[in-house]
């Protein structure tokens, strides 16, 4: 089997991407954020208190003839930006882009934090990390990818995220029309459950390439690119008027600045992030100060290769044994 679905930016600065999925019988369509940085599939539901729902589509298990309560099971998750949710668990038929998993664990929210309530374009998440990270207790549940894997033509899914445009996620096949040249693969270390791998180095603008192993996670659910402070200061040293603002919690610069590109290595291959991706957003609609798409990871404890980096490439998440991740120019 295979599947293919759209990855649609939820706002004009690509803060996140959502994908249409269907749950249950008859199918209920929700827009979910496919997130390789976590492994819970959770949705706004008919069980979510109405004062916590603001425009989101909800999953109603009682309206689905194929839903089953996974009795006695609960879940609770906290994300890196402090947001979180918790609830109960059903199994039901779940489809992404024509690829169906019967009795997928669907985690129905009984409570969501305010940032989820405020994000009306996001009806929940599909965790595509390793199932070891799933928070359902007493027995943890498998991700959509892990459930689908035995039926996939190839044990892969791919991410083709785009700058200010709709991209795609494919399951079970690698679409050679979506990239140019070869795919360069590198080893993934799957503990504790992220797609953890190394970059082989970086360069700023037309500067020399600095070879160094930089370990981090490729995370479709994180907006920006977070790297070690030394690399980030080297980058912003090239930007007139840039400063690391305590007030804004990161590097800001005059929106009129000319930014250099940023290149990262995967083994021997090189991927260049255009300057426009790093001129992330104005700090407020009328401001002439802009916030960078490359920020320091020092507060996170982990380097995160988020959407700003991933949208510069065609990325193959390979569930083979051992797992690996591939990058190609597009």
Ligand X SMILES: CC(C)(C)S(=O)(=O)N[C@@H](Cc1ccccc1)C(=O)N[C@@H](Cc1c[nH]c[nH+]1)C(=O)N[C@@H](CC1CCCCC1)C(O)(O)C(F)(F)C(=O)NCCN1CCOCC1
**Binder of ligand X out of 14, 35, 57, 123 (CB under 6 A):** 35
Give yes or no for residue 170 binding ligand X (CB under 6 A): no
Active site residues: 35, 219
The tokens for 257 are 């600045």
The answer to the question of residue 83 lying near ligand X (CB under 6 A) is yes
- Residues 223-282 contacting ligand X, CB under 6 A: 223-224
By beta-carbon proximity to ligand X, the closer residue of 179 and 195 is: 195
37 binds ligand X (CB under 6 A): yes
Spatial contact of 230 and 286, defined as CB atoms under 8 Å apart: no
Dihedral angle computed from the Cα positions of residues 170, 106, 115 and 53, in that order, rounded to the nearest 10 degrees: 120
Task: Between 63 and 137, name the residue whose CB sits nearer to ligand X.
Answer: 137
Which residues make beta-bridge pairs with 145?
Answer: none
Q: Which of 222, 279, 296, 297 touches ligand X (CB under 6 A)?
A: 222
Q: How far, in whole angstroms, is CA 177 from its chain's centroid? A: 22
Beta carbon nearer to ligand X, 83 or 212: 83
Task: Report if residue 81 touches ligand X, rule: CB under 6 A.
Answer: yes
> What residues contact 275, with CB distance under 8 A and at least 6 apart?
258, 259, 260, 261
What distance in Å separates the CA atoms of residue 314 and residue 161, rounded to the nearest whole number? 8
Cis peptide bond N-terminal to 183, omega within 30: no
Cβ neighbours, 10 Å, residue 237: 10
Which C-beta is closer to ligand X: that of 3 or that of 221?
A: 221
Q: Give yes or no for residue 43 binding ligand X (CB under 6 A).
A: no
> Between 96 and 125, how does the x/- string for binding to ligand X read (CB under 6 A)?
-------------------x---x------
Contact, 2 vs 91, CB < 8 A?
no
Residue among 210, 324, 191, 317 at smallest CA distance from 270: 210
68: β partners: 91
Q: Which residue's CB is nearer to ligand X, number 16 or number 313?
A: 16
Structure tokens at 106: 């669907």
Establish if 142 lies at the interface with ligand X (CB under 6 A): no
Q: Name the minimum Å distance from CB 207 to ligand X.
A: 26
| Selected range binding ligand X among 73-81, 99-107, 165-173, 271-279, rule: CB under 6 A | 73-81
Q: What are the residue ranges of helices labelled H in 190-306?
A: 229-236, 275-278
Positions in the binding site for ligand X (CB under 6 A): 15-16, 33, 35, 37-38, 77, 79-81, 83, 115, 119, 133, 135, 219, 221-224
């Amino acid at each position: 089997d295979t599947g293919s679905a759209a990855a649609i930016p939820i706002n004009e600065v690509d803060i996140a991407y959502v994908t249409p999925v269907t749950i249950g019988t008859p199918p209920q369509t929700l827009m979910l954020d496919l997130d390789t940085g976590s492994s819970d599939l959770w949705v706004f539901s008919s069980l979510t208190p109405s004062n916590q729902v603001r425009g989101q589509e909800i999953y109603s298990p009682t309206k689905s003839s194929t839903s089953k309560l996974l009795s006695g099971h609960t879940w609770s998750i906290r994300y890196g930006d402090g947001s979180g949710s918790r609830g109960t668990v059903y199994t039901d038929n779940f489809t992404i882009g024509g690829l169906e998993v019967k009795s997928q664990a669907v985690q129905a929210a009984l409570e969501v934090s305010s940032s989820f309530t405020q994000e009306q374009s996001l009806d929940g998440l599909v965790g595509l990390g390793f199932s070891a990270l799933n928070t359902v207790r007493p027995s943890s549940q498998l991700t959509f990818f892990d459930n689908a894997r035995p039926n996939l033509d190839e044990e892969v899914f791919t991410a083709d995220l785009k700058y200010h445009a709709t991209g795609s996620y494919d399951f079970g096949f690698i679409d050679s029309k979506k990239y140019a040249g070869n795919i360069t693969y590198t080893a993934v270390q799957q503990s504790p459950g992220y797609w953890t791998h190394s970059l082989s180095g970086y360069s700023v603008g037309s500067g020399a390439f600095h070879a160094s192993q930089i370990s981090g996670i490729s995370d479709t659910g994180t907006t920006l690119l977070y790297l070690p402070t030394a690399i980030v200061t080297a980058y912003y040293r090239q930007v007139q008027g840039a400063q690391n603002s305590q007030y804004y919690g990161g590097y800001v610069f005059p929106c009129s600045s000319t930014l250099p590109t940023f290149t990262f290595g995967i083994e021997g291959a090189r991927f260049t992030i255009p300057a426009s991706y790093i001129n992330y957003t104005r700090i407020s609609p009328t401001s002439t100060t802009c916030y960078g798409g490359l920020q320091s990871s020092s507060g996170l404890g982990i380097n995160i290769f988020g959407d700003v980096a991933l949208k510069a490439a065609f990325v193959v998440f390979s569930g083979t044994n051992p797992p690996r991740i591939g990058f190609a120019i597009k």
